[in-house]
Amino acid sequence: MAAVLAIDLTGRRAFVVGVADDGGFGFAIAKALAEAGASVCIGTWPPALNIFETLLRRGKLDESRRLTNGKLLEFERIYPIDAAYDTLDEVPQSVRESKRYQGRGDFSIDGVARRLVEDFGERPLDIVVHSLANGPEVHLPLVDTSRAGYLGALSVSAYSLVSMVRRWGPLMRPAGSFLSLTYLASERVIPGYGGGMSSAKAALESDTRTLAFEAGRRFGIRINTISAGPYASRAASVTGIIEDVIEYYARNAPLPEKLTPAEVANVAAFLCSPLASGITGATVYVDKGFHAMGRAVP
């Protein structure tokens, strides 16, 4: 009888950055990693952290957190992180003094690195999932996007991965894995997905390939990205087009049905596991096959 091939992440620690509710890919990936046996820390944007912690404390997320064994998904740590800043010195005074940031300590990428080491030792990480993006002018066509809006989109949505690999790569244990989330707008025109976000996703995919080589040689880690189909998360709703895009995909994809977060999360767990030890520098499509289509269905 053939052995069962299982994803086993027992003894590994994952850090999923970009979880602020239970409705997006980040939360689903955190849950899938926990189902596979990993311990999970998450990183949350400081302005959203109070609400998220309140929902957890009041049990509002208990049903979403329930694992197949009946237990609840527990987070080892929840770190405040604003991926727009590499160090605390770069944070404007107005941001530091904001009520939404006060009392959160060092929420920069470098600050979180030091907190991870303080909490878990010098090599605390096996898996990092970059599940965050922000385009302050995503509602604007690219041709109407300001320099600040464009650079803001690239900073948080693409360069933040470079910064995390640079600062957190040395914290990874042998055979560690980085994973990010991208979108087909990196290579196709998606009207309504503006503000430089298409450019940011293209940069993210290009950086994935280059970082896979550089960090693979320097730190011995793998770096991949998932090009996920559209899903109506709270973050995606700011585009104002998400429901239309979901319906378009469902009509035209080879598998004519809506994508679920669990389908993305299961592939994420595989890519972060030893079963995917030979995969790095890859963009893996999880979109019901839509990326393969060259023409809409009549």
As for how many domains the chain has, the answer is 1
Phi/psi for 122 (5° steps) reads: -70, -30
The separation between the first and the last C-alpha atoms of the chain, rounded to the nearest angstrom, is 47
User: What is the pLDDT, as a whole number, of residue 4?
Assistant: 73
Cβ atoms 135, 195 nearer than 8 A: yes
Residue 158 lies in a domain: yes
Residue 297 lies in a domain: no
| CATH code of the domain containing 20 | 3.40.50.720
pLDDT for 26-63, tens place per residue? Answer: 999 999 999 999 999 999 999 999 999 999 999 999 99
Active site amino acids: 183, 193
- Checking if the pLDDT of 2 tops 70, the result is no
Taking each helix axis from N to C end, the angle separating 160-168 and 109-120, rounded to the nearest 10 degrees, works out to: 30
- Checking if the pLDDT of 238 tops 80, the result is no
- In a 13 Å sphere around the CA of 71, the CA atoms on its Cβ side amount to 8
Residue 230 lies in a domain: yes
Parent domain of 236: 13-290
User: What is the pLDDT, as a whole number, of residue 219?
Assistant: 98
Cβ within 8 Å of residue 118, ≥6 positions away: none
Residue 157 lies in a domain: yes
Which of the four pLDDT bands, split at 50, 70 and 90, describes residue 131? very high
Residue 67 lies in a domain: yes
